[in-house]
Structure 1
Amino acid sequence: MIRTFRSYAQEFGRDPSILKIYVRVNGLITTSPLPENRRPFLGGSPDQIARDLDRVRKLNVEQIFFSEMVDPDMDEYVTSNLDDYIESLARLQSLVHA
């Protein structure tokens, strides 16, 4: 999608290198890994998401923000404990900034 955006920008006379790209992830950050066959890109445990972010890094994205959306099919992986969720976010941040 990002490559297509940049291609269209160039086609319409814009310099794609100066256009900032922000990515919104409507996904799920879990405390334990999701099964790979059910896991959305940029969703799952901090370790799974960090691996996905390595792929995104190459696309020169300005910023990624997460807006957690709960998928009823993934209820078993959702934590209702705020401390566990914050710990998952902190782990993700430490993996990304390592």
Structure 2
Amino acid sequence: MTQRTQADRDAITVEIGYALLSGVFVAAVVFGAIAGPGLAFALPPAVEHGLLLAGGAAAAIVFTIRVVTVLWRFARPRAETAGAGAGGPGRDQPSQPGRTSPDS
């Protein structure tokens, strides 16, 4: 098993923090969108309770999906995320600024 460098550990820590914070934000937006009308308007208690339950369930699901997808994308090897073909986003940078290819 290979040792991780401090930079690798820092990158993992930052990515986990980003996944959690973005998950909380998305969950809060979904909860507010679903449960908000029940809190903002005078609705029957059963409807308010139902909206709160539905909002909480949807927020939990969205939070989980967001965290898993962010961390899964981070865990992919760099070769997959860099672009496969020539001319893709992973190609080498030009040798001089303003040039369109290393040979120009």
Give TM class, smaller chain: under 0.3
Structure-2-length-normalised TM-score: 0.21
Structure with the bigger percentage of strand: 1
Higher relative contact order (CA 8 A, sep 6+): 1
Structure with the bigger percentage of helix: 2
Largest Rg, 1 or 2 = 2
Structure-1-length-normalised TM-score: 0.22
